[in-house]
Structure 1
Amino acid sequence: MSFVGDTLVTARSFAEYQAMFALSREDLTGRILDCPAGAADFVREVNTRGGRAVACDAVYVGRSTEELAAIARAETDRGNTYVRDHAEDYVWRFFSTPDDHHDSRRESVRGFAADVARNPGHYVPGKLPSLPFTDSAFDLVVSSHLLFSYTDRLDHEFHVDAITEMLRVAVREVRIFPLVPMGSTEIYKGMDSLRDHLSTLGVDTNIFPVDYEFQRNADHMLVCTHTPRSVTPSGDAPSR
């Protein structure tokens, strides 16, 4: 298994998010948290379209707009170098070539940097598994390329703590993509035990296919919801 090194600050597009998380028009009208958001262009696009989205990431802590833009550009180049060096591990449909991948990421960086400058309140410093939001602050939480991706450094307890924390701030559900670690083509080996553990904590989990595959065999998302017994009569998620 090959690893990219330090956790990447990625700059994914709105179109990627739609596909990775099977987002419907109805999903996009609710309050959405993207965590960790990195340098994605998703929040800008959602809010431009009349939605209500917030990004949260540790990389935002103590950094200016200019610093974040520079980091995002450098990380985009680093990520693209990894993709080029491991091109056989990727499916070239969403992106046609490594150059197309690089161009898309660079375009997302530009949108991200411009939006951070215009709407800094949409980009909140924070780090899993402890988020700076009140209970049930969002309808939906989406989480991309952290959980399950970095199994060389994130253990079972981190995954449990991160998922239950995201559910704390979600009224409805948490969607996580992908389920395949970086450098692998197999689903996270601890998935069954993780789902069993979450079930004991009152969390329902389901795995669904999505219409997106870039990393080979990474074409499913995990959807986590509160079990009926842990939901109050009003339909709101209970406080922790």
Structure 2
Amino acid sequence: MSELRGATDIGDFLVSARSFDEYRAMFALTDADLRGRALDCPGGGASFTAAARVRGADAFAVDPVYASPPRELVARLDAELARGSAWATANAERYVWGFHGDPAAHARLRAESAAAFARHLAEHPGHHVAAALPDLPFGDGAFDLVLSSHLLFTYADRLDARFHAAALREMARVGAEVRVYPLVDQAGRALPDLLASVVAELGDAGVRAEVEDVPYEFQRGARSMLRLGPVPPRTGVRGAGAPAAGGRMPA
């Protein structure tokens, strides 16, 4: 693992452990959203899958880190919790602390979430699939909902527009609906050119992309998610038109 390296960059991709409640707020999830098949992509050490399954969802997580033996993954997650907490504490002015309270409470919540993840991983390893965007091992339309947090846009300094478009098309292939949060980078900067580019490419592929506000802001400025779904039928001058061609979407 690299050191925290500078004012805008946390370093290596962080394996985080966000809680179910954070997911509900980040993605504006309702009870109805959790009644089908859901995929957390990438899942990291989040407790979403475990908690969603308790609530009746047929939930799974996918992440390349799941290729590691469970004991090694849990040990790595402990180190990542410390790294993430150190970053948040050192850069506290970049965050809105209303949801968590303060850096210490934030660290406790993430530790609790990581512990829930570790228990679920030990008891139900099949719910955690080792794979990485933009090539995921699921069939077309395998999920009702795909959630993706803190990878796309967050790491725009190292993931280019081509990767973003391919990853979004892949998630749209496997999910009837996709929600992506946040839409700012690590420094909290908006990315209008990148967002416009991927939305245009998704539209060409038959995928509707809309930006929606969410009832959550931890990183300052991160108040919106990207929601993907099929383009609805268009109504022509003479009546009902034909649906736009569907785009390929994996998970």
* TM superposition score category, shorter chain reference: over 0.9
| Aligned ranges 1:87-126 → 2 under 5 Å | 87-126=92-131
Does structure 2 conserve the Cα–Cα contact (< 8 Å) formed by 1:230 and 1:238?
A: no
Report what 2:44 is aligned to: 38
Deviation at 1:189, TM superposition (A): 3.9
1:64 corresponding residue in structure 2: 69
1:200 corresponding residue in structure 2: 204
Matching residue's letter, 1:226: P
Give secondary structure in 2 for the equivalent of 1:181.
Answer: coil
Aligned with 2:89 (options 81, 84, 104): 84
- CA distance in structure 2 between the partners assigned to 1:238 and 1:109 by the alignment: 33
Is the deviation greater in 31-40 or in 200-209?
Answer: 200-209
Aligned pair 1:225/2:229, yes or no?
Answer: yes
Report the AA paired with residue 71 of structure 1.
R
- Alpha-carbon RMSD across the aligned residues, in angstroms, is 1.6
| Distance apart, 1:184 and its partner CA | 2.4
| Match runs of 1:132-143 below 5 Å | 132-143=137-148
Query: Separation in 1 of the partners of 2:248 and 2:244?
Result: 7
Superposed CA deviations along residues 26-57 of structure 1, whole A, max 9, x for unmatched, are 11001000000100000000111221100000
User: Runs of 4+ in structure 1 displaced over 3 angstroms?
Assistant: 237-240
Given that 2:206 and 2:245 are in contact with CA atoms closer than 8 Å, whether structure 1 keeps it comes out as: no
In structure 2, C-alpha distance between the alignment counterparts of 1:169 and 1:230, rounded to whole Å: 18
Q: Is the 8 A contact 2:42 2:62 kept in 1?
A: yes
Amino acid across the alignment from 2:21? A
For 2:239, the equivalent position in structure 1 comes to none
- The alignment's TM-score, normalised by the length of structure 2, stands at 0.89
What does 1:178-193 correspond to in 2, within 5 Å? Answer: 178-193=182-197
Fraction of identical pairs, as percent? 46
Aligned pair partner of 1:2 in 1, 4, 8: 8
Measured in 2, the distance between the counterparts of 1:50 and 1:226 equals 26
Q: How far off is 1:173 after superposition?
A: 0.9
Secondary structure of residue in 2 paired with 1:190: helix
CA distance 1:230–1:58, change in 2 (3 Å): farther
| Aligned equivalents of 1:239, 1:148: Cα separation in 2 | 19
Conserved? CA contact 2:18–2:45, under 8 Å = yes
Change (3 A) 1:75 1:188: farther
Q: Deviations over 1:184-219 (max 9, x none)?
A: 243454212221121111111111110110000101
How much has 1:231 moved relative to structure 2? 6.7
**Aligned-residue offset at 1:183:** 1.3
Partner SS for 1:117: helix
Give the Å deviation of 1:135.
1.0
The answer to whether the Cα contact below 8 Å between 1:180 and 1:188 also exists between their aligned partners in 2 is no
For 2:221, the aligned partner's letter is N
Q: Any stretches of 5+ residues in structure 2 without a counterpart?
A: 1-6, 233-242
State the match for 2:153 in structure 1.
148
Q: Partners of 1:69 and 1:239 in 2: how far apart?
A: 31
| C-alpha distance in 2 between matches for 1:154 and 1:146 | 9
> What's the counterpart of residue 55 of structure 2?
49
* Aligned residue number for residue 33 of structure 2: 27
Q: Is contact 1:148-1:188 (8 Å) kept?
A: no
Letter in 1 for 2:194: G
